[in-house]
Structure 1
Amino acid sequence: MCGLVSPSRSWSEDVIPPAPLEERHKAVSLADAAVRALQNNLDISISRHTKESRLTDIVVEQAKFDPTVSVNGQYLRTVDPLNRPVFGATGFQLNRITKLDQRNHVLSVDAATKPLDGGTVDVSYRPARNSVNQDLAEGFLFNPAWTGGLTLTFNQPLLKNAGISINPTFIKAAQKQCGRRTAHFRDRVLTVIASVEQNYWELVFARENVKVAQAALKAAEELLANNRAKPRQESCLSSMCSRPRPPSLPEWNRS
């Protein structure tokens, strides 16, 4: 006769109990613990990025006084039919359509800066080249013709934004904000380091306390074992002392 095994029992026999987790011990120094705490602390990361953004604000405010250079080029070509004679080129004959091909090349170089006193200095150089087609070139004295112009402009406000002590105000404000964020970042770092150091030594104290407690437990177990063994020894001695002695033989039996 075959017996049926209940499903719950068969399923329970197939279940493999989980293996016990092995304890992992790794020696970590106080410096390593502090470095790991600083690397994985979210407040430290936020404070670091905030401090870097304040440094960027200083660069942005200082960039307002940086010099700038711009270069622009222009090319213009115009072709028109002549409706009047050109001296030295067409004479007085206009029997056919003659075109006037003009080409203009212009280059502009501009450099500007803003000093700390609030003024502006601008230097601009603008060379140009003008030419016409070769069949009419004899009617022009210079072909191509070159022209150029140099301009220096200086503007200085007398009341508003005038003076070296006024214009760097935003730079100084950005530096103050950066210093405040740097101090806040340093405070957060020192707080985390102090907390890690305190927890580290508390852990060391707890582990040493466990060792002391284990040693005390071992000593107590040994003392308990000794105390339990003493009554047995005393009972054995008392039983040996309470045994009756055998009767002594008479003198004549001894011989």
Structure 2
Amino acid sequence: MKNILFFKLSIYFFSLFLILVSVANANDPLSLTLKETIERVLKNNISISVQSYNSKINEQFIFEKEADFDPTLDFEFKFGEETRQSSSSSSLSDAKNRNQDYDWDFSVSQKFVTGGDYELSMDNNRNRTSSSLTSLNPTYSSDLALTVTQPLLKDFGIDLNKRKIYIAKNDQKISDHQFTEKVIDILTEAENIYWDLVFSIEDLKVKETS
């Protein structure tokens, strides 16, 4: 793995060397300062770009694991209609009864870092009928329920349930450290090549004038 990385870096720095040489030997030479060289390396180096994306991916992975403990809100709406023949109707108007049901349900649930969870739900119903035998029309009903669960043995504990977050954060730190090391190594090598080239050009000028 180290040999492959060294080979890739060698190819890159050799390419950088050729670019600088071509700039120096051009008919209209373009001055390239050390700062501009570093900026170009940071912008165009593939290894730095890949490592920076790895850091962003690990950061997003932390958000995903922390989102496991975010509350979840659910809403459901249902409508139903039923028409049936009435066997005890006293008039033609009651020969058929039509019932309309409206249901709208809310619920919110969330996981605890201790391993438990809760769910708060509210079920609502509205019923309307065409029957004249019903004294209260339409009718409404609501049910409110709260459920809380907490395991006492298996899956109990903050560290156990947040282990994926801890792992993701450690991976992020490692990725950031590797990114910093890679940038330092590449910029150091680029600076060395830059000054080697500068000294070579100056040495060539001295030899040409002597």
Asked if Structure 1 and Structure 2 have the same fold, meaning a TM-score greater than 0.5 normalized by the shorter chain, the answer is yes
Match of 1:119 among 116, 119, 126: 116
Aligned residue number for residue 158 of structure 1: 152
> Counterpart in 1 of 2:178?
184
Question: How big is each residue's C-alpha offset from its partner over 1:9-46, in whole Å with a ceiling of 9 and x where there is no partner?
Answer: xxxxxxxxxxxx96231111111101101211111111
CA distance in structure 1 between the aligned counterparts of 2:94 and 2:160, rounded to whole angstroms: 67
CA offsets 1:42-77 (integer angstroms, 9 cap, x no match): 111111111111111111111111111011001010
Correspondent of 1:26 among 19, 26, 30: 30
Q: Does 1:147 align with 2:151?
A: no
Moved over 4 A (4+): none
Does 1:109 pair with 2:106?
yes
Residue identity matched to 2:116: G
What's 1:11 paired with? none
Larger helix percent: 2
Aligned residues: 186
1:71 and 1:165 map into 2 onto residues whose CA distance is 32
User: Separation in 2 of the partners of 1:30 and 1:122?
Assistant: 61
Q: Is 1:98 matched with 2:102?
A: no
Residue of structure 1 equivalent to 2:67:
63
Q: CA deviation at 1:145?
A: 0.3
What's 2:53 paired with? 49
Deviation at 1:143, TM superposition (A): 0.2
- Whole-Å separation in 2 of the counterparts to 1:67 and 1:97: 48
Gaps of 5+ in 2: 1-24
SS at match of 1:127: strand
Cα deviation for residue 214 of structure 1 reads 2.2
Query: Pick from 174, 192, 197: which aligns with 1:198?
Result: 192
Match of 1:80 in 2: 84
Cα distance in 2 for residues equivalent to 1:97 and 1:147:
25
TM norm structure 1? 0.69
Matches of residues 192-231 of structure 1 in structure 2 within 5 Å? 192-216=186-210
The change in CA–CA distance for 1:193 and 1:101 in structure 2 (over 3 A counts) is same
- CA deviation profile, 1:202-238 (whole Å, cap 9, x unmatched): 111111211221232xxxxxxxxxxxxxxxxxxxxxx
Largest Rg, 1 or 2: 1
RMSD between aligned residues: 1.7
Query: Match for residue 22 of structure 2?
Result: none
Distance 2:93 2:52 in 1: 79
Distance 1:120 1:96, change over 3 A: closer
Secondary structure of 2:148's counterpart equals: strand
Provide, for residues 64-109 of structure 1, a one-character-per-residue CA deviation record: whole Å limited to 9, x for no partner: 1111101100101010011124xxxx3xx6x787001011100000
Partners of 2:38 and 2:157 lie apart in 1 by 49
**How much identity, in percent, do the aligned residues show?**
25
Task: Give the structure with the higher percent strand.
Answer: 2
**Structure 1 gap segments, 5+ residues each:** 1-20, 217-255
